[in-house]
Amino acid sequence: MLIPIGDITTEAGATIVGAEIAVQRWGEFRGDPNGRNNVLLVEHALTGDSQATDWWCEAIGPGKALDTDKWCVVCTNAIGSCYGSTGPSSKHPDGGTWGSRFPAISIRDMVTAEAAALDALGIGRVHAVLGGSMGGARTLEWTLLYPERVDFALVLAVSARASAWQIGIQTAQITSITQDPAWQGGDYHGTGTTPDAGLAAARRIAHLTYRGELEIDERFGTSPQPGENPLGQFREDGQRFSVQSYLEHQGRKLTERFDAGCYVALTEALNRHDVGRGRGGLNKALHSINVPTMVVGVDTDILYPYHQQEHLSRNLGNLLAMAKLSSPVGHDAFLVEARQMDRILRNFIMLTEQTPSGRDLDATRGVYDI
Amino acid sequence: MLIPIGDITTEAGATIVGAEIAVQRWGEFRGDPNGRNNVLLVEHALTGDSQATDWWCEAIGPGKALDTDKWCVVCTNAIGSCYGSTGPSSKHPDGGTWGSRFPAISIRDMVTAEAAALDALGIGRVHAVLGGSMGGARTLEWTLLYPERVDFALVLAVSARASAWQIGIQTAQITSITQDPAWQGGDYHGTGTTPDAGLAAARRIAHLTYRGELEIDERFGTSPQPGENPLGQFREDGQRFSVQSYLEHQGRKLTERFDAGCYVALTEALNRHDVGRGRGGLNKALHSINVPTMVVGVDTDILYPYHQQEHLSRNLGNLLAMAKLSSPVGHDAFLVEARQMDRILRNFIMLTEQTPSGRDLDATRGVYDI
């Protein structure tokens, strides 16, 4: 379903006119739209979409950890993406495609737009917001921008702000795309050419930050791609190690399902991720969060190393729990390690049912203050 | 000094005609050129050169750990490089530049060529071979190709073979260069254009694998480059975070001192690094090494993670010692952490003076066998 949310003014002051947000829902809504209810708001990662039961199929469904017989799971597509919500590849109200007219957005802008979509749906408050990676960044911002609308939060495989290393590797990806001659300043839509080579190159780099070297090496090692000889007298592009073929496949797959301009927009938003901006710094911002928040990291994550989740756990104002995924897979473990994630999600849901929410605590404090 | 070594046949069967190797030396030679002597053969990393007293200035010199008052330090430029030894940017005997005529080389080819250069100098044996990263790979291959010529070895920040992750990230760098239109199939020399953009992009990616995210983040965090605003209404290439400016500077610096074709050739050699090839597999090859070998790794190295040095230590036939650099710097710590490296190098030298060499052990075994 597409929800019109009108004009959105970004954190940096630009306007996205006539914005829309794609939303999907599983399970029946129960409770008070502005009070206690059963909504679990799930936040997707960089190239994800609102079809959460696809990319988190082991986690969401009847009888699963996010049990749709009990909970109403809602997932929106981030503004800037290409899966229904308004982004660089969307039609502009004035004609043509947004392209380079689409402004730079921040994680906060995604949450602002998402909150507007929930408003339009009449959902004033949710039981929990959950997400990993870019979805984790959005979850954190929910607890800062709209603490009164979030009872609990689960933040997976992310940090309080982009690290310089992340900005570096993410910028390498953006540059791969913008230096592709087919990029045309971001206005390639409708020209008949698309910066597929740049987007594929970006994805190959990104994939090596999503997947742990232990897992990739266990799968491919130094094996040649069948029928090819990467050890010949001269280096040839068509004579590859298996891992090269695998990464090229990952790159090609993304060009078939994702828009390069949207990839740049969302990656730029990750570069700008910083919960401390305008809030007196990182730790002061984290300390101000009263939403009970569970933090999860992955032991082999090189993109968002575990020390970044430890940093969150030390500084969050209301830490609910902390868990570590042990996996050779690296960053993507929150999507891949279904068995461990099942335990973590069930623990999180159980804790949310046994713990006073941030709002309850505020109410209690209010009583004592009198 | 340039040493002609004649024609070199590569592991894959191609020929490099009329090859030369650049060699430098510090300290006086003492001892038997084919027996015990005071030669320390130092092996440089990917973009290094034979001027070891530049890039390892804290380690080599009078009174330093590799004390040139006592030891004769020798350093050669790897074949395939652009610092004097024959490589893609060298003049071809038939005219013009080698360019795409330069074959793919392996780490073993580098060692074969280096051994030929030592032959030409009359050095039949060395007290020790030492090197990190690509230099560590060369050191390992010395102990396998010419165990009778090496008394001791020090292997830093490397693995027994390329991991699939390394092949992936290194191929991303090669592709950055070869997809630059100025690459011209590798025959850009003399055309007036050089694939600087591709080489700089490769270096920016590489640099993020050489430097730990802790160190980069401590230095740059999310600071904007002075005078620029990376948080404006639209993403602009000229409005950068400090870390982007830093990485662009690293890329530009490399284009001013290194040849793109040589970068591709040496990176391809790293992709082919595998001490197990043709030797019955990795662990069998390692177990066969009787040269007493010290292994050193860095706790925060994501390019050659410490578990790879632990793997070496478990499987080397004659482990002399093991040490870990503790550093936020990552892979480059063996070049940067001068104080820790000083202790490690002094310990290594002391051990080599107190321990029977592989050759001594063989001689002993010979006596016992009678």
State which of A267, A293, A308 marks the end of a domain. A267
Percentage above 70 pLDDT, chain B: 97
Q: Would you say the C-alpha torsion B301, B303, B307, B313 has a positive or negative sign?
A: negative
Rg (CA), chain A: 21
CATH number of domain containing A337: 3.40.50.1820
Q: Kindly name the residue from B89, B301, B311, B327 that is annotated as catalytic.
A: B301
**Residue A367 pLDDT > 70:** no
Q: Do B205 and A172 touch (CB under 8 A)?
A: yes
Contact yes or no for A221 and B164 at CB 8 A: yes
pLDDT of B48 higher than 90: yes
**Does B130 share its domain with B100?**
yes
Reduce the DSSP state of residue B158 to 3 states and report it: coil
Q: What's the CA gap between A353 and B70, in Å, rounded? A: 72
The DSSP string of A129-183 is EEEETHHHHHHHHHHHH-GGGEEEEEEES--SB--HHHHHHHHHHHHHHHTSGGG
Q: Are residues B304 and B217 in the same domain?
A: no
Quick one: pLDDT at residue A368?
A: 41
Q: Is position A203 annotated in a ligand binding site? A: yes
- Among B237, B267, B297, give the residue marking a domain's end: B267
Q: Provide the 3-class DSSP secondary structure of residue B39.
A: strand
- Three-state secondary structure string covering B121-133: HCCCCEEEEEEEC
Of A172, A175, A217, the CB nearest to B163: A217
DSSP assigned state of A319: E
Q: What is the pLDDT of residues A17-76, one digit of tens each?
A: 999 999 999 999 999 999 999 999 999 999 999 999 999 999 999 999 999 999 999 999
Q: Which ranges of A211-259 would DSSP assign to H, the alpha helix?
A: 213-220, 242-257
Name the average pLDDT for chain B: 96
> Region A323-328: what's the mean pLDDT?
97
Nearest to A231 among B12, B176, B247 (CB): B12
Alpha helix (H) residue ranges in A234-357 = 242-257, 260-271, 282-287, 306-315, 333-336, 338-354
Sign of the torsion formed by the C-alpha atoms of B32, B34, B40 and B44: positive
Res A362: pLDDT: 62
Strands A150-156 and A293-298: what pairing? parallel
Residue A259 annotated as catalytic: no
Q: Give the predicted TM-score (pTM) of the model.
A: 0.95
Catalytic residue of the set A90, A106, A133, A357: A133
Domain shared by A230 and A157, yes or no:
no
Residue that is last in its domain, among B267, B297, B319: B267
Residue B333 domain-assigned?
A: yes
Give domain status of residue A273, yes or no. Answer: no
Q: Is A67 annotated as a binding residue?
A: no
CATH of residue B263's domain is: 1.10.1740.110
Asked if ipTM goes beyond 0.85, one says: yes
Q: Are residues B137 and B43 in the same domain?
A: yes
- pLDDT value of position A366: 46
Q: What mean pLDDT, rounded, does chain A reach?
A: 96
Decide if B156 is inside a domain: yes
Is residue B195 located within the same domain as residue B147? no
CA B60, B258, B241 angle in degrees (round to 5)? 95
Same domain as A158, residue A92? yes
pLDDT at residue B146 is higher than 50? yes
Q: What is the pLDDT of residue B355?
A: 85
A95 in a structural domain: yes
- Indicate the helix (H) or strand (E) that contains A128: strand A126-132
Q: Which domain range does residue A259 map to?
A: 166-267
The count of domains in chain A is 2
Contacting residues for A236 by C-beta, under 8 A, at least 6 apart:
none
Residue-wise pLDDT for A348-359, tens only, equals: 999 999 988 866
At B367, is the pLDDT very low, low, confident or very high (cuts 50, 70, 90)? very low
pLDDT, tens digit (0-9, with 9 covering 90-100), for B165-220 = 999 999 999 999 999 999 999 999 999 999 999 999 999 999 999 999 999 999 99
Q: Could you please report the per-residue DSSP string of A37-79?
A: B-EEEEE--TT--S-HHHHTTTTEETTSSEETTT-EEEEEPPT
What would the mean pLDDT of A191-205 be, rounded to a whole number? 97
Tokens of A305: 């190393």
- For residues A13 and A53, state if they share a domain: yes
d(CA A65, CA B234): 40
Where do the H-state alpha helices sit in chain B? Answer: 52-55, 107-121, 134-145, 164-178, 196-210, 213-220, 242-257, 260-271, 282-287, 306-315, 333-336, 338-354, 358-369
Cβ pair A179:B201 closer than 8 A: yes
Whether B70 is in a domain gets the answer: yes
Question: What pLDDT does A364 receive?
Answer: 57
Summarize the confidence of residues B297-326 as an average pLDDT. 97
Query: Do A172 and A121 share a structural domain?
Result: no
Is A137 in the same domain as A282?
yes
- Residue B364's pLDDT is 57
The pLDDT of residue A370 is 35
Tokens of B294: 């010290």
pLDDT (0 to 100) of residue B366: 46
Which residue of B169, B174, B208 is in closest CB contact with A168? Answer: B208
The burial of A8, by beta-carbon neighbours within 10 Å (0-12 exposed, 13-18 middle, 19 or more buried), is given as: buried
From A307, which residue of chain B is nearest by alpha-carbon distance?
Answer: B214
Asked about A133 being catalytic, the answer comes back as: yes
**Beta strand B72-76 pairing with B15-26:** antiparallel
Chain A interface, best mutation among B233, B268, B282, by max A CB count within 10 A: B233
Q: How far is it, in rounded angstroms, from Cα B230 to Cα A32?
A: 42
B61-71 average pLDDT score: 98
Question: For residue A44, what pLDDT is reported?
Answer: 98
Q: Which residues contact B152 (CB under 8 A, 6 or more apart)?
A: B127, B128, B129, B291, B292, B293, B294, B320, B348, B351, B352, B355, B357
Judge whether B273 lies within some domain. no
Question: Would you call A326 exposed, middle or buried from its count of C-beta atoms within 10 A (0-12, 13-18, 19+)?
Answer: exposed
Q: What is the pLDDT of residue B345?
A: 98
Percent of chain A with pLDDT over 70: 97
Amino acid B76: pLDDT = 98
Identify whether residues B141 and B188 lie together within a single domain: no
pLDDT of residue A357: 80
Residues A208-247 pLDDT 10s: 999 999 999 999 999 999 999 999 999 999 999 999 999 9
| Contact between residue B51 and residue B142 where contact means Cβ atoms under 8 Å apart | no
The 10s digit of each residue's pLDDT in A131-173 is 999 999 999 999 999 999 999 999 999 999 999 999 999 999 9
pLDDT tens string B233-289:
999 999 999 999 999 999 999 999 999 999 999 999 999 999 999 999 999 999 999
Please give the Cα distance from B211 to B139 (Å, whole number): 22
Based on its alpha-carbon atoms, the radius of gyration of chain B, rounded to whole angstroms, reads 21
A189 is annotated as an active-site residue: no
Q: Which of A44, A301, A311, A357 is catalytic?
A: A301
| Residue B10 DSSP one-character state | -
Same domain? B183 vs B72: no
Would the pLDDT of A318 be above 60? yes
Residues of chain A neighbouring B13 (CB-CB closer than 8 A): 233
Say yes or no to pLDDT of B330 above 70. Answer: yes
- B272: in domain: no
| A57, A158: one domain | yes
Smallest CA-to-CA distance from B274 within B81, B130, B141 is with B141
- Total CB pairs under 8 A between chain A and B: 168
